[in-house]
Amino acid sequence: MVAMMGQMIALFTDFGAAGPYVGQTKAVLAARAPGVAVIDLMHDASAYHPKRAAYLLAALVAGLPAGAVILGVVDPDVGHAARRPVVVEVGGRFLVGPDNGLFAPLANQAARRGQAARWWLITWRPETSSATFHGRDLFAPVAAMLAEGAPPPGEMLDPTRTIGADWPDDLSEIVYVDGYGNAMTGIRADSLPPDAVLNVRGQTIAGATTFSDVPVGAAMWYRNAFDLVEIAINRGQAAAVLDLRPGTEVQAVAAA
């Protein structure tokens, strides 16, 4: 079957770029969905922490076209009987991965906009599978099926009974630190007034539009390219200077 125009499979994992895991997953996708573009969204999502990763994933998915399939794997409970494999359809995009909250913020935010997500429990199983690498053996084949135009191979789920259905739209903590030392939060920039200030580790940080709006060495928060609140230092490493890491709490308050 020929893939639809503009269709792609986007990978979002905590596998890390080094090692065999990304390559093994891509090999399955290439074999099962030849001709479909495979895009690396990121492979250094917050390891073992699907909740932090989930708020970053929700922001990144917004830039993908309808028809895209997102293979999302941050799966510390891989192989556990209580962790369910799922497909989620939100805004014409399909997400494949574990029901551990990784897709919850995206689905919750869409529901509050009147775009209810649809969930399926994956009942298909491969002939053979590793107990610890469902990204390659279960989720990648299902992502390939969807990219080739097949329906989700499973049964419908009640969205209110999925992990994270009661999570808020924003997470007030650092969810990712990039190579520049900039610290992304799980807070949507649209949720804050322009004059809001952040309290982080006892320090107060005001907002700016871009780095050069503040002196060299000064801290700021700004709307990043993914519409999340991000903390940076002009020509400096905010994570090192301000002691920020994934999980650091961030409090937003209105300016006096």
Cα separation of 169 and 158, whole Å? 20
How many C-beta atoms lie closer than 10 Å to residue 251's C-beta? 11
| Tens digits of residue pLDDT in 10-49 | 999 999 999 999 999 999 999 999 999 999 999 999 999 9
CATH of domain 171-253: 2.40.30.90
Nearest to 72 by CA among 53, 59, 48, 49: 53
Q: Is 234 strand, coil or helix?
A: coil
254 pLDDT band, cuts 50/70/90, is: confident
Q: Name the DSSP class of 31.
A: H
CB–CB of 74/14 below 8 Å?
Answer: yes
Residue corresponding to tokens 């961030």:
250
What are the extents of the domains in the chain? 8-161, 171-253
Give residue-wise pLDDT tens across range 171-227: 999 999 999 999 999 999 999 998 999 999 999 999 999 999 999 999 999 999 999
Q: What angle do CA 218, 222, 224 make, to 5 degrees?
A: 125
CA 44 to chain centre: 11
The yes-or-no verdict on residue 4 having pLDDT over 90 is no
pLDDT at residue 2 above 50? no
The whole-model pTM stands at 0.95
Extract the tokens encoding 181. 């030392």
The CA distances from residue 154 to 60, 118, 161, in Å, are: 26, 12, 16
Cβ pair 38, 62 in contact under 8 A: no
Would the CATH topology of 8-161 be identical to that of 171-253? no
Question: Cα 17–18–24 angle (5° rounding)?
Answer: 80
CATH number listed for the domain at residues 8-161: 3.40.50.10790
134-176 pLDDT per residue, tens:
999 999 999 999 999 999 999 999 999 999 999 999 999 999 9
